[in-house]
Chain A
Amino acid sequence: MPPVIDLEGLGLDGGAHLLIDHALAALRPGESLRVRGHHPALAVQLAAWCRSEGHLYLPEMTVVKGSADAERWAHAERAGQAAATVAERAKPEWGLAARGALVEPGGPPLDVDWAERDHVWADIAPQLYAQANANQWNPATAVDWAGPHTVPDDIEDAVVQIMTYLVENEQAALMIPARLLARLHPHYREVMQLLAAQAADEARHLEIFTRRALLYRDVLGVSGAGGRSSLQSLLDEPDYTLASFLLSVLGEGSFLDLLRFVQRHAPDRATADVTMLAGRDEARHVAFGVAHTAHVVRTDPAYLARLRGAVERRHSVLVDTAGLNKEVFDSLVVLAAGSWTPDAIGHGWRQVQRLQHTMDEGRQRRLEFIGFPADEAAEISALHTRNFM
């Protein structure tokens, strides 16, 4: 006797197929299910439904289970072993399926460039992403925008120029992770999330630096061609790890010191706030870049040569450009000087020399952490762009 399902008054225009599917799930293809019910159009509905689902309808309300469903899932595989396991290689065929989901074959393959764990991963990514979420802040309220305006005019000129420079660097820092994440297989979800959070951080940095520049002025400072060439060379790096290394390890690493410098010499609360907030985010960006690059080098020590090659290549592209434009450098001196006396300017000059030294030390430290011997780390750090980023 075949099993029987009683639909009572429910029709297939009202959800009865769920009950039938549920009953059919226990059967093998070729086995029958008797259907009972008193919906007036049940027979015509059932025949049409069976046809569309690949079941055989026999008059007098019998469904013979078809094999379509079994065939559809016959070659299905999970996108990785489990939700918590990150696969060494993510298949394009997994597409946008959630990690660990059972993937029906036959969908469109995902067109992404980076689908190997060791090419994109760092074990610290999930933690950094959690930290990024915990440390979100609101540009409207986290900065003291309404403090008293006591900044002298020529110091304000320097602040506006530095902010103008920071904005163009932030724009590059936004575009790079945005480009990287669009080419990444979403199986490496935590990395994608982290890059998205990083892009969102940079979007906020753009906002606060622009807002600080325009706090007391209507006009921004200048944008030098050399500085933009330096940033363009970052955008031009097509490789994931090399782009991450140049941007986050060397560039944003140097920026950490720059932001601290501006914060220390800030002539007002707003300037101190914006550089402090951006610096906190940047520390996270640097941490991921360093952890990721170190991860790659651990799995392939020969990669050190490629990292070095990328810095040398960038150096040779930029060797004939001005690097940091003069207006930015001078503004940093004036900011640290605080006034235009020769003593003060001399002091400011020494402060900026010290800043460059500190940046160099920081870069060497990170390069050594990644795996470079000390002498090589010093050589590579010296080749870093004069534009800081």
Chain B
Amino acid sequence: MSLLLGAVAYDPKVVTIWTGFRTWFRDRGVDFDYVLYSQYERQVEALLDGSIDLAWNSPLAWIRARRLARHRGAEVRAVAMRDTDRDLASVIVVRADSDLHTLDDLRGRTVATGAIDSPQATLLPLAVLADAGVQARIRRHDIGVGLHGDHIGGEREAARALRTGGADAACLIDANLLQFAREGVLPSGSVRVLGQTTPYDHCNLTAGPGVDAEAFVDMLLGMEYGDDQLRPLLDLEGLKQWLPGRTEGYAALDAAVTATGFYRQDGGIGATGYRP
């Protein structure tokens, strides 16, 4: 079995993680290697043209991969995900002392978001506003465009804009609500949650059309947090356990992608101003 995985280099730690996993797999007789991409669009295209067998995909990359595959009459499969990729939520927060109390109050106000391609800090929370029929001024923070929101910078800037009065509301992933409190970007008690998304899923390991990754995935799912050699890698990658892939958690994002035209049904890029 020989498998080549693609991952996006959103942080230097990606090299440590996948080099470590490569060693672990090779020690167990699996001819596994990885390549890095600077952004998700190129990685998805590589998965579809067969340059790589597996892609460690953002939720948005998963949606594009599936659309591209279906357009060609093929299928990609979400074969694994982290325990931390399940049931996330994004929140829309306002300053605790503001006079904004419902989503409706955001009509005509300024809402700070992450980058144009961030599912958690842009596409999903804006879909919540759209569903509520609220038209707001959007102030986007395009940091790390092409990384699909993996770079935390856009969200941090959105939080700062809220704090300093540059925006009336900000969109964040739930975990960053806690992270920014620790960092002092949004001190404890400084913000109020006005609305939130329904739970959604995040990254997955996507197998390209016709790729047999069953044995590989079995081994991946067998990785144990109690393994002293693996645990530092799992900590870096932000999981305790690999779980089988599931796709129900991408419905809301798929709908948002369709509604905004971010990708076309054939998988082409439709978003204006998106330059990964």
Chain A residues with CB under 8 Å of chain B are: 11-15, 40-41, 44-45, 47-49, 51-52, 54, 57, 66-68, 71-72, 74-75, 105-107
**18 CB < 8 A contacts A-B:** A11-B189, A12-B178, A13-B177, A13-B182, A13-B188, A14-B181, A40-B192, A41-B91, A44-B196, A45-B177, A48-B173, A48-B175, A51-B84, A54-B83, A71-B224, A71-B225, A72-B225, A105-B228
Q: State A45–B87 Cα separation when bound (angstroms).
A: 13
Contact indicator A45/B178 (Cβ below 8 Å):
yes
Residues of B within 8 A of A51 (CB): 83-84, 86-88, 175
Partner of A48, one of B174, B188, B238: B174
Cβ of B103 under 8 Å from chain A: no
B12 at the interface (CB under 8 A from A): no
Find the B residue at minimum CB distance from A53.
B240
Judge whether A47 and B89 touch: CB under 8 Å. Answer: yes
- The reply to whether B229 and A54 contact each other, CB–CB distance below 8 Å, is no
B139 interfacial by beta-carbon distance below 8 Å: no
* CB under 8 Å from chain A, chain B span 242-259: none
CB distance from B85 to the nearest CB of A (A): 9
A37 to chain B, nearest CB (A): 14
Is there a chain A Cβ closer than 8 Å to B226's Cβ?
yes
Closest chain-B Cβ to A18's Cβ sits at a distance in Å of 13
| Chain A proximity mask over B213-236: 1 for CB below 8 Å, otherwise 0 | 000000000001110110110000
* Chain A hits for B225, CB < 8 A: 54, 67-68, 71-72
Chain A contact surface mostly: loop
Nearest CB of A to B246, in Å: 15
**Number of residues on chain B facing chain A (CB within 8 A):** 30
Of B88, B182, B192, B226, the most chain A CB neighbours within 10 A belong to B226
Determine the chain B residues whose CB is within 8 A of the CB of A52 once the complex forms: 84, 175, 178, 238
B188 close to A14 (CB less than 8 A): yes
Interface residues of B (CB under 8 A from A): 83-84, 86-89, 91, 173-175, 177-178, 181-182, 186, 188-189, 192-193, 196, 224-226, 228-229, 231-232, 238, 240-241
Chain A residues within 8 Å of B229, by CB: 106
Q: How far is the CB of B159 from chain A (nearest CB, A)?
A: 12
Contacts of A74 in B (CB 8 A): 226
Q: How far is the CB of A102 from chain B (nearest CB, A)?
A: 14
Is the pair A106, B226 in contact by a Cβ cutoff of 8 Å? no
Complex CA gap A45/B226 in Å reads: 27
Bound form: Cα–Cα A104–B181 in Å: 28
A75-B228 contact given A13-B181, A40-B192, A45-B177, CB 8 Å threshold: yes
Q: 4 closest Cβ contacts across the A-B interface?
A: A13-B181, A71-B226, A105-B228, A54-B240
Q: In the bound complex, do residue A44 and residue B84 qualify as a contact, i.e. CB atoms below 8 Å apart? A: no
Q: A44-B196, A47-B89 are in contact. Are A14 and B175 (CB under 8 A)?
A: no
Closest to B233 in A: A106
Q: Is the CB of B177 within 8 A of A44?
A: yes
**In this complex, what residue of B is CB-closest to A107?**
B232
Q: In the complex, which of the residues B178, B228, B238 contacts A13, with contact meaning CB atoms closer than 8 Å?
A: B178
Interface pair A48/B240, CB less than 8 Å apart: no
Contacts of A41 in B (CB 8 A): 91, 177, 192-193
Q: Which residues on A sit within 8 Å (CB–CB) of B175? A: 48, 51-52
Residues of B within 8 A of A13 (CB): 177-178, 181-182, 186, 188-189
Residues of A within 8 A of B87 (CB): 47, 51, 57
B199 to chain A, nearest CB (A): 8
User: B186 to chain A: which residues have CB within 8 Å?
Assistant: 13
Q: A261 vs B99: C-alpha distance in the bound complex, in angstroms?
A: 86
Closest to A12 in B: B178
Interface centre among A41, A49, A67, by most B CB within 10 Å? A41
Q: Are B232 and A106 in contact (CB under 8 A)?
A: yes
Inter-chain pairs besides A14-B189, A51-B84, A71-B231, 14 sampled, C-beta below 8 Å: A13-B177, A13-B178, A13-B189, A14-B188, A41-B177, A41-B192, A45-B178, A51-B175, A52-B178, A54-B225, A71-B225, A72-B225, A106-B231, A107-B232
